[in-house]
Amino acid sequence: MGRGNSIALVLLVLAVAGLPFVTTGSYTLTVGIFSGINALVAIGLCVLMGSAGQVSLGQAGFYGIGAYVSSVLSIKFGLPVALSMIAAMAVASAAAALLAVPALRLKGHYLAVATLGFGEIINVILNEWGPGGPSGFGDIPHLSLFGYTLSSTTSNFYFIWLCVAAGLVFSLNILNSMTGRSLRAIHGSETASIAMGLDIVALKIKVFVLSAIYASLAGALYAHYVTFISPSSFNLFYSVLALMMVVLGGITNVWGGVVGAVIITILPELLRKFEEFDVLVYGLILTLSLLFLRKGLVPLLIEKAARLKGGTDARA
């Protein structure tokens, strides 16, 4: 997995484990929870964009499927939450495969357009047929594992960041495996990849499905933590926000997804003091960051670090 990644992972685990001890109350932890949920979505999107070079404008659709399917199964059918979360991920991956098969046969931006349409369709469906319609519904049970119910903020915080860490390790493993090399190869030269006998359509579909699984897991975690969901949390704005996290953090490194998600989640909290001006400051910060960070924060920092070290191996 690389020394850089291992060190970063250890630091992350220490930070997550330590945070509840240095903060009072649950406000910071709640911010942390939403950061973690967003980070999951962003990691999936990062793998999709950074390695397969595809753009999705429909992650909110999978995020919504995760939240709704898991909630409905646990409320209406009385399924244990853990089970309904897994079912939700299965439904989301099926939907992703169905969408990707026709979309990925086409070249260029079609996945972006197709996912945009898909996300909007899911939102219409949630509005029309989702329980509670546009008003949404509440009283969703918390996640229970081995007889322990995650109702406190701290327990949710730990569990969600456990998922993030697992998701990170999983995707780092993939990227550093044969599969990951194939994906990077596709990004490098599609012609050569085909000539090497790589099944690029199948690989792209798989990555897309993977990104959908991450998003749906995040959606399910969201639903069982907040215990209330409505379609407005799963619309195009969220898809765009997810894209923003990834681009801001840097698409070429999965850590970029995590960093971008944390920044995008914390930023509005930091800007509360600006009251209504926050929209302006927020827009300004986004514009400037994109203009001047370009490759994204994480790749930029790695580059800097490498230069400090004297230009040895820059790649984590």
CB of 184 to other proteins, least distance (A): 6
Token pair in block for residue 236: 């195009």
CB of 309 to other proteins, least distance (A): 16
CB of 261 to other proteins, least distance (A): 13
SS3 call for 148: strand
Closer residue to other proteins, CB minimum distance, 77 or 237 = 237
Token pair in block for residue 65: 């499927």
**DSSP codes, 22-82:** HS-SSHHHHHHHHHHHHHHHHHHHHIIIIIH----S-HHHHHHHHHHHHHHHHHHS---HH
CB of 87 to other proteins, least distance (A): 18
> How far lies 26's CA from each of 141, 148, 169, 269, in Å?
20, 20, 27, 14
Containing H/E element for 149?
strand 148-149
Closer residue to other proteins, CB minimum distance, 34 or 255 = 34
Closer residue to other proteins, CB minimum distance, 32 or 73 = 32
CB of 102 to other proteins, least distance (A): 5
User: Taking the CB of residue 227, how many other CB atoms lie within 10 A of it?
Assistant: 15
SS3 call for 229: strand
Closer residue to other proteins, CB minimum distance, 77 or 274 = 274
3-state DSSP percent of the chain in helix, strand and coil, to 5: 80, 0, 20
CB of 6 to other proteins, least distance (A): 13
CB of 69 to other proteins, least distance (A): 18
Closer residue to other proteins, CB minimum distance, 22 or 178 = 178
User: Which residue type, as a one-letter code, is found at position 269?
Assistant: E
Q: Which residue carries 């690989």 as its tokens?
A: 203
Closer residue to other proteins, CB minimum distance, 222 or 255 = 222
Q: Cα–Cα distance between 99 and 136 in angstroms, integer?
A: 26
Closer residue to other proteins, CB minimum distance, 6 or 287 = 287
